[in-house]
Amino acid sequence: MKLREKPLGVLLSDEGRQALQLAALNLEDSQFVWVYVDETDDLGLWVRVHRDDGDHLVLIRWEYILSIDVPAKVLEMR
């Protein structure tokens, strides 16, 4: 399953949510976060995060991910 270059939803464990908050990611109240995945590897998902000084790549480790939700087809707009 290739998840690179896709915006998708990630359901994080409590630990994962804490880890991302420590990484200074602005998260909504939900454990479900919508991210843009730049690349994946054995460590986890590398997501693109915009910070004041520009884009950063942040790793979400696989062990923090409970599930992933990605639309199977391109979402059609009106």
Sign of CA dihedral 33, 15, 22, 53: negative
Q: Whose Cβ is closer to another protein: residue 22's or residue 77's?
A: 77
CA distance 23 to 4: 21
User: How many Cα atoms are found within 13 Å in the side-chain-facing hemisphere of 52?
Assistant: 1
* Longest alpha-carbon distance in the chain: 38
Task: State the binding string over 11-30 for another protein (x if CB under 8 A, else -).
Answer: -----------------xxx
Q: Applying CB under 8 A, does 52 fall inside the site for another protein?
A: no
∠ CA 61-24-6, nearest 5°, is: 50
Q: Applying CB under 8 A, does 36 fall inside the site for another protein?
A: yes
Q: Applying CB under 8 A, does 46 fall inside the site for another protein?
A: no
Q: Applying CB under 8 A, does 42 fall inside the site for another protein?
A: no
Contacts to another protein by CB under 8 A: 1-7, 9, 28-30, 32, 34, 36, 38, 48, 50, 69, 71-78
